[in-house]
Amino acid sequence: MVKTLITSAPRRTDRAVGRTTVVELRGEIDILTAPPLEARLDELTAAVLSDLVVDLRAVSFIDCTGLRVLCRARNRLMERHGRLRLVTDSSQFLRILSGAGLDGVFEICERLPEAVSAVPAGAFTAAAG
């Protein structure tokens, strides 16, 4: 008998809000679903002074691979003087961060408007177009 593993791949929506990119995630982030997310976050964190908000409120599951992807995005942004904020109202996710020794590492917001409005005025210059 062949056993099939069914997983809920994370769905992702990216949008710009002013100079901030908001990535809304839904579903599960695990070893099977993290690679495309990591690739997209690498694209979004490639620029200097990037401002990224990752909305995790609709994420139903995240494992250590998902945490690694978030840590990688944070580290890439810090190297480029950018900013990463996570939006979550999940006490379970905060316990996971704490258990992994990552409490206090990420900037956490409970609501999306707070995260997007928290961008300091004049913090970024408009790209020449």
Residue type at 128 in one-letter notation: A
Per DSSP, helices labelled H in the chain are 34-44, 64-79, 91-99, 112-117
Lowest mean pLDDT among 5-9, 16-20, 59-63: 5-9
Please, what CATH class does the domain formed by 19-117 belong to? alpha beta
For residue 47, pLDDT beyond 80 = yes
- The position carrying tokens 């679903």 is 33
* Bridge partners of residue 20, in order along the sequence: 17
pTM assigned to the model:
0.81
Instruction: State yes or no: pLDDT of 31 exceeds 80.
Output: yes
Quick check: 79 pLDDT over 50?
yes
For the chain, how long is the longest CA-to-CA vector? 61
pLDDT band at 3 (very low <50, low <70, confident <90, very high): very low
Contact present, 32 and 7 (Cβ < 8 Å): yes
Q: How far is C-alpha 56 from the chain's CA centre? A: 7
- pLDDT, the chain, mean: 85
Inform me whether the pLDDT recorded for 32 exceeds 80: yes
